[in-house]
Amino acid sequence: MSSDVHIRDDVQREFYYSPRLNGAAIGVAVQDGIVTLTGTVDTRAQKLEALHAAERIALVKAVANRIDVRLPGPSDPTDTDLARAAANVLAWNNSVPPDRVRIGVESGWITLEGMLDWQYQRDAAGSAVAALAGVKGVENRISVNSGVSAGDTKARIEAALKLSANIEDRNILVEVNHDKVVLHGEVPSIGQREEAERIAWTAQGVSDVSNHILVAQPVGV
């Protein structure tokens, strides 16, 4: 059985084990380690979940996400409805500090602006509004306040990488310039590459992460 067939089977198995996805509704094609996803899901959050599930599989080089999001029925929410819903969902989200995020809505697209202290707060705000019914897309312009020295940021990221149980290869180089992080090195899967980036984003004050980590096929595969 070829490597592409193994990858396809592993991706499909990952979908079936995910409680938020209907694996039967998502098509998976693989050629030379490149995964193409097709089909239709109910929300943008499910489309992203499928992307991340495929990225977790070893030997996947890249993922083309062509999944469509099923459009709402005739009672589409207006921009005013979406703005109200977005304001409510952020107000009830414990990860997002109150009165720090500005919301704009135009033709079903939501724009978020403002400044927060942590990347996880920025991500939480974007994920919360993206899950609302009728949202066509989200442009997250929220900035992250930098109040930590570059040396401290580098040390915290390196320590977190060493402690991670999800990253096999610890040979990852971390560079920090003010509030911007650059990652170098090699890992065996896109999922581990994304995990390293996620860890970098969790450091306080980080506003940008450039991920130059390579996905290297293990010797003998």
- Looking at residue 179, its pLDDT comes to 79
Rounded CA separation 48/53 (Å): 9
- CB–CB of 174/111 below 8 Å? no
pLDDT tens track for 58-86? 888 899 999 988 766 556 788 999 999 99
The pLDDT value recorded for residue 76 is 74
Q: What is the pLDDT of residues 4-20, one digit of tens each?
A: 899 999 999 899 888 88
Tokens of 182: 């650059």
Q: How many other C-beta atoms lie within 10 A of the C-beta of residue 198?
A: 17
Task: Give me the torsion for CA of 156, 169, 181, 33, rounded to 10°.
Answer: -150
- Supply angle C-alpha 111, 117, 121, rounded to 5: 55
Residue-wise pLDDT for 27-38, tens only, equals: 999 999 899 999
Query: Could you tell me the end-to-end alpha-carbon distance of the chain, in angstroms, rounded to an integer?
Result: 12
Task: Please provide residue 202's backbone torsions phi and psi, each rounded to the nearest 5 degrees.
Answer: -75, -10
45-65 pLDDT, tens digit per residue, is 888 889 988 988 888 889 999
pLDDT digits (tens, 9 = 90+) for 142-196: 988 767 788 888 998 999 998 888 887 567 899 998 878 999 998 888 888 889 9
Question: How many C-beta atoms lie closer than 10 Å to residue 124's C-beta?
Answer: 17
Lowest mean pLDDT of 7-21, 86-100, 207-221, name the range: 207-221
**Residue 167 has which token pair?**
């990253």
Domains in the chain, CATH or no CATH each: 3-69 (3.30.1340.30), 79-144 (3.30.1340.30), 150-215 (3.30.1340)
- Give residue 205's pLDDT: 77
Query: Residue 180 gets which letter from DSSP?
Result: E
- In this structure, the number of other CB atoms found within 10 A of the CB of residue 130 comes to 18
Structure-token pair, residue 65: 């996400």
The per-residue pLDDT for 214 is: 87
